[in-house]
Structure 1
Amino acid sequence: MKSLRKRRRIQVLIVAAIALLLAVGLIGFGFRDGINLYRSPSQVAETAPDPDEYFQLGGLVKDGSIVNRDGVAFDFVITDGAVELPVSYIGRDPRPDLFSEGQGTIAKGYFRNGRFEAQDLLAKHDETYMPREVVDTLKEAGVYQDPNS
């Protein structure tokens, strides 16, 4: 009788361990493409990421840097006040309405051959909003100006 209970406990523990490992594996697989690291232009210039690493690049769109290309594609420069990086938007969607020079933005894509290839762009959603990551980056560079002051 005791050995049957002991065997059942061991079986339950084994099944629970397998379920836990399976859950951890599925969560890891789900996050494989879901975690996008944020970097500033200074961080990218300091340590260039792998060409296959998908990440978010944030900063200000440099004044006078937007150059239209065919279709919805265009080029611009993103800066954190210390470093400027050229960006080519190669996504399929039109430019966001509130995307403009001198405004904060986050571009999602890959850094290849000294240029960031953006597949998605996030722009502010009103006149005073700026992504928290961009504000932190600009504060570190000493160039942040509060729009409310």
Structure 2
Amino acid sequence: MLYSFLLAFHSFWRWVVLLTLVLSIGRAFLGKKGHRSFSKKDQQLSLLTLISAHIQLTVGVLLYSISPIVSYFWNNFGKAVHERQIRFFGMEHITVMISAVVVLTIGFSKVKKQKGDYEKFSSMFFWFGIALLLILSSIPWSFSPLTSRPNFRDFSW
């Protein structure tokens, strides 16, 4: 029951992470191009993006620790490492997603340290953009021929 709930929540929350990330990158791009001031709203959105990604990571790590797929992966490593979908969830997905959150966290820190508005927007655009590319590359999209899962899961148990 906990596994089903975490799986549904993790599936739903990815959209929150993606939305805040895309909004942050969009504001960074427009701020950089328009030579705008880095406002309190920009800072708050970047913080909301960071928080949403950290919530997703926390739920993902919890899910990883109780997942039957991951359990199978570690208990049958020699065989499972050669099974694409099992390897994806046992090793690839978590590695890339942790990397993405680390990149996002570094980017957030770098943005805060920048002095000028243009530099803040440039830094946010660069670091958050890399994080977005990493995340997009490791989501098990419904249309992926490699490892596919539903784009939306329901919370029914």
Q: Specify which structure has the higher proportion of helix.
A: 2
Q: Name the structure, 1 or 2, with higher relative contact order (CA <8 Å, separation 6+).
A: 2
TM-score band w.r.t. shorter chain: under 0.3
TM-score by length of 1: 0.21
> Greater CA radius of gyration, 1 or 2?
1
- Length-normalised TM-score, structure 2: 0.20
Higher strand share: 1
